[in-house]
Chain A
Amino acid sequence: MTDATTPKTSGAARKISGSGRNLDLFRVRHIPDSVESRPVPLSVTEPSSLNKPVSKSFYFWLMVPAILVLAFISIYPFFWMIYMSLHDVDIGHIEWNNFANFIKLPSDTRFLMGWLLLAQYSAMCLTLQIVIGVFLALALNGTRLEKVLVTTLLMPMMMAPLVAGMVWYFLYNGTFGWYHWLLQSLGILGPKSILASSNTAMIGLVLVDVWQWTPLITLITLAGLKRVPQDQLEANMVDGASPFRNFVSVTMPNLYPVLLIAIMLRFMDNFRFIDSILVLTGGGPGNATKILPVYLFEVSFKFFKLGRGAAIALILLIVTIILGKLLVRVFDRQQPSKV
């Protein structure tokens, strides 16, 4: 009902209702009298600043500073990287080299090994983190000390990866490292530090990553557990499910989406966080832990082959994007809609 017709209608309704009981139905009951008879002001005196559409260009100018900053720190380096990857780059000398940076890569065994090691490293980290993280979340969920324990658990995550690397470097140290002593006493390790043998160095790195980032998985899983619908769990219990069955058929489907997010975050981190690795092994012993990002760092900033480094970086970026896209697609398919 528009403003203009309201007083008219209600006036008519009042007349009708006055003339006979059984026409009472026509009365507009839900509109209180005070509203009906309120005079409608002829001139609109509403504050003009409210609800007035603002021109689009205004919003654009609001965004300009952000765009500029972003362009400077992110977009410009990105294009500069592409540019470098296509050239021979030396100090004071840049020369087009007909994709030589890319063409040489397939025959670079350390580049290929880098991929293999990165895959190994990431797979081990993710598996351990997901399994331990989910298990911890399940153990913590709903316990009385949940909040305290979660806060405690999060501490490793708060540490800068570089610092974490340092701490573990000391713990692993072959002469005075406490963990080294422990592992040795248990007969798991020989006299050599875990990082000193090419067979075990990767495991040492994985342990650090697991130690630092499992809490993130736990945190995300806990959040996921909170939104598992209680009534579905109960319905399934009444339907005849054992607790384990209940977990598999109700809890897990609700956890998939959050776990996918966690996996995505972690695999991307594995592809770019090398702080602790640089501190702990620097890619050694030999090339045993030279995962691709470490190799990239070496090529660019130790050998100073900026062009080749840029080419590797570009490929790493493209692979990351493709894998991310794939995960998002799986995520979209898994996402259960609300009931």
Chain B
Amino acid sequence: MAKVSFRNVWKKYGDIPAVKDLNIECQDGSFLSVLGPSGCGKSSTMRMVAGLEHITSGQILFDERPINDLAPKDRDVAMVFENYALYPHKSVYENMANPLKLRGQDAAVIKERVTAAAKLLEINHLLERRPQELSGGQKQRVAIGRAIVREPNLFLFDEPIAHLDAKLRAHMRGEIKHLQRTLGTTMIYVTHDQLEAMSMADMIAVMHDGELQQLGTPRQVYNHPVNAWVAGFVGEPAMNFVDVGVEDRAGRTHFTHQNFSVAVTEEQQRQISNGSRESVLRMGVRPDALSISMTKPSDSCITGKIFVTELLGGDMIVDVDLDDCRIRVKTSTEFSGEEGQTCYMTVNTNKWHAFSKENGKAFF
């Protein structure tokens, strides 16, 4: 087990930077998820930790010990690859035994460890099979099994469940989280799926264009995104963004739009005036911070027209057209609006966000 630190880590391919000045501290035993869209540098980050990729500059430290120049085999990490990377000519048992064998363990120890890991992952009936005789989920378990048979400093999971179907993915999310808690080993988990990151990690590092956008707990990242990009990337359905004017009315700042004018709270007013004097801001509201009704509740509500409704079983997503944009609202299945009808939405002002139009930075 180890604490992993990134100190000013850069990765460049030729002149093109893939990871820019990365600084992360990942505490011993914690579950860090590196989240970002494809091409954001998250995989490069992980491969640098594994030693599969040279670190252009900066340092990666395990327990304050730089590992930049160590070969992959000397770093004592275990990695699970996106496409499993099982050895097709070896049986499941041999696949899982490989890391122990390479480290010169006794056959008896290997057998004991592999059996224990197989039991934990419920694949003990598959040990004699070859990888090609397994389903995707089973292959994934074998790949994870190969990682956990020895007790490494660190687990590296590179989108391990991206290729599984949705149901199995949801199942494996829980299993991997439980596994990490049981073993207590530090884990770095790379994913592009914000749901995976949110549901599993202790800490999320959101990356975009090679830069770390935000490092925080899932709650922090979800409730207090530092910029519009993080706000838009995290959360499903995605946050609604509406460009609003900033106006002072009777000493209180209002966000104004053709369809509405809503006052901010006192706290938020202070945060805006400290931040900037932009006359147009980007308001961000999550679909669940809006409540929708067919009757007008008050004057400070948003008026719109229903574009379409989507029933998702347990709840319903309503797409509403404002004059210049479309926003999505999450509501209960009892909602009875029809397409084309006018509807009214109130914002939970404790849960909304305002971002700078210029640099996307969050005011609140």
Contacts and interface: CB of A to CB of B under 8 A. Distances in A.
Interface of A: 21-22, 24-25, 229, 231-232, 234-242, 245, 249-250, 253, 336-339
Contact of A339 (B78, B79, B99, B132): B132
Given A21-B338, A339-B132, A238 B77 contact: yes
Interface string B76-90: 011101011111110
Residue among A24, A240, A339 with the highest chain B CB neighbour number at 10 A: A240
B85 A235 contact: yes
A245 B73 CA distance: 12
Interface of B: 50-52, 71-73, 77-79, 81, 83-89, 98-99, 102-103, 130-132, 139, 146, 156, 309, 311, 333, 336, 338
Nearest to B83: A231
Contact of B131 (A24, A236, A339): A339
Nearest to B81: A231
Nearest to B88: A336
Contacts of B81: 231, 234-235
A237 B87 contact: no
Contacts of A250: 87
Q: Which 5 A-B pairs have the closest CB atoms?
A: A231-B85, A235-B85, A240-B102, A239-B99, A240-B73
Contacts of A339: 83-86, 88, 131-132, 139
Contact of A241 (B79, B84, B102, B130): B102
A273 B18 CA distance: 54
Given A21-B338, A338-B132, A236 B98 contact: yes
Contacts of A239: 73, 78, 98-99, 102, 146
A339 B95 CA distance: 12
Nearest to B103: A240
Contact of B85 (A25, A234, A249): A234
A24 B310 CA distance: 9
B10 to A, nearest CB: 22
A339 B98 CA distance: 17
A224 B85 CA distance: 18
Nearest to B50: A238
A238 B73 CA distance: 5
B309 A232 contact: no
Contacts of A245: 102
A314 B102 CA distance: 51
Given A338-B88, A339-B139, A24 B309 contact: yes
21 contacts: A21-B309, A22-B333, A231-B83, A232-B85, A232-B86, A234-B52, A234-B81, A235-B79, A235-B87, A237-B52, A237-B71, A238-B78, A238-B79, A238-B156, A239-B73, A239-B98, A241-B73, A336-B88, A337-B132, A338-B88, A339-B84
Given A234-B85, A240-B73, A21 B50 contact: no
Nearest to A249: B87
Contacts of A338: 88, 132
Nearest to B53: A234
Nearest to A233: B85
B44 to A, nearest CB: 13
